[in-house]
Amino acid sequence: MATKVLDLNVEQLPTHFDGLEGYSQAFILYRYHDIPVGQAWLPVINGRINQTELHDSIINNNSWALWEQVLHHYLAWDERLPNTSLPRATVAVCTRDRPDDMRRCLEGLMKLPDDGQEYLVVDNCPTSAATKTIVKEYGNRVRYVREDRPGLNVARNRAIREAKHDIIAFNDDDAVPDPNWLRRLLQNFSDPDVLCVTGLTMPLELETKAQEWFEHYSPFGRGFSRVLHYGQSKTALGAGRVGAGANMALRRAFLEKVGPFDEALDAGTTTLSGGDTEMFARILLRGYHIVYDPAALSWHRHRKTWEALRRAAYGYGVGIYAFWTRMLLKEKMPGVFLAAWCYLRHYQLPLFWKALRHYPDAVPLDILLAEFRGCFHGVTAYLTASRHLKSSGGNP
């Protein structure tokens, strides 16, 4: 049975929930004054959630972030910029042959407050005109750009070149932004040394077993406390903890300070992923800062089928080793060997042990094996993509 995704405000918790029939559990996002403060998985029995369990989950699972926001609200203390002084932004969506997702994403973008932002869709190496047709329905509110060179990082670089504003906010085509998503991202750019802001990404739906396991195995969320990641070389190799490219904004100045996205990385190349993590790492390595702000919320549609989940796990394995290969070759960081060992010793091997011992919460073995196979191909994938990029005159 599927999992129902619920979005609840802790100040006004409902006493009754509709639409829970047919669901065995609920995944709940808790907010306080619209700010996400925690999450919980609760059982659904006969279409109902136990109210005692609901209240206990708020106190037991989400206490620190919740009380942090309660204190901030009481003191009227906010580290972010007020809405009245926000910079203008270009909102960019890079897509390829996912017209249904694209329509859902655009509908969500149209619900954002109008602060003078520009909307840009970069259609990457499409096989049909479906996306262009959808974008035309929005008239001059959305600008369409076709990029025929394949690769997500190619599309990101094209979006940056096309953008009219100094802040470029990226939302995935299979994600729907919360109404205050863009404002929350932009409120974090008061410090000129902050080159990037990432936000919280929650599951849009958990209707299949594959979607549930994606959220357990590789969630996009990075917690419910705002974090300023200071630029340090020692933190660069673990840059994945600062956020995900599905929900990020960049100051255009990063082009001069750290360079464009490496087009040998991420979807559309042999490396399959890793482009966002590598950019985060380079920002930190150059001494600039990244803010993670869970108030900048977006909802992501996870992979629906088990085969798609397995492919994603394989791609993540390829991507992380491709990223480390780039850091070794381009940034001369021998620490990648220690990072790879720590990843194996403290993350992958414990997961394998749980799977082999059939622990109740163990990640399915075929998903772990898919990621492990990807890790073995990561080095050659980056070398292959780099050679192809060089021969085609692209941007390394």
Using alpha carbons only, how large is the chain's radius of gyration in Å? Answer: 21
Q: What is the torsion angle, in degrees rounded to the nearest 10, for the CA atoms of residue 212, residue 39, residue 180 and residue 17?
A: 80
Report DSSP state, residue 376: H
Average pLDDT over residues 356-370: 95
pLDDT at 1 over 80: no
Q: Greater confidence, 394 or 82?
A: 82
Phi and psi at residue 24, to the nearest 5°: -95, -20
Q: Which CATH class name applies to 83-303?
A: alpha beta
* Three-class DSSP category at 232: coil
Q: What is the pLDDT of residue 62?
A: 64
Q: What is the pLDDT of residue 60?
A: 80
The fraction of the chain above a pLDDT of 70, given in percent, is 99
Q: pLDDT band for 77, please (50, 70, 90 cuts).
A: confident
| Interval 156-204: pLDDT, tens | 999 999 999 999 999 999 999 999 999 999 999 999 999 999 999 999 9
> pTM of this prediction?
0.95
| Interval 106-163: pLDDT, tens | 999 999 999 999 999 999 999 999 999 999 999 999 999 999 999 999 999 999 999 9
| Interval 212-263: pLDDT, tens | 999 999 999 999 999 999 998 889 999 999 999 999 999 999 999 999 999 9
Q: What single letter denotes the amino acid at residue 280?
A: F
Domain boundaries, the chain: 2-75, 83-303, 307-392
The mean of the pLDDT values for the chain is: 95
**CA of 170: how far to CAs of 23, 92, 132, 251, in Å?**
33, 5, 19, 11
Antiparallel, parallel or unpaired: β 23-32 and 35-43:
antiparallel
Q: What is the pLDDT of residue 142?
A: 98
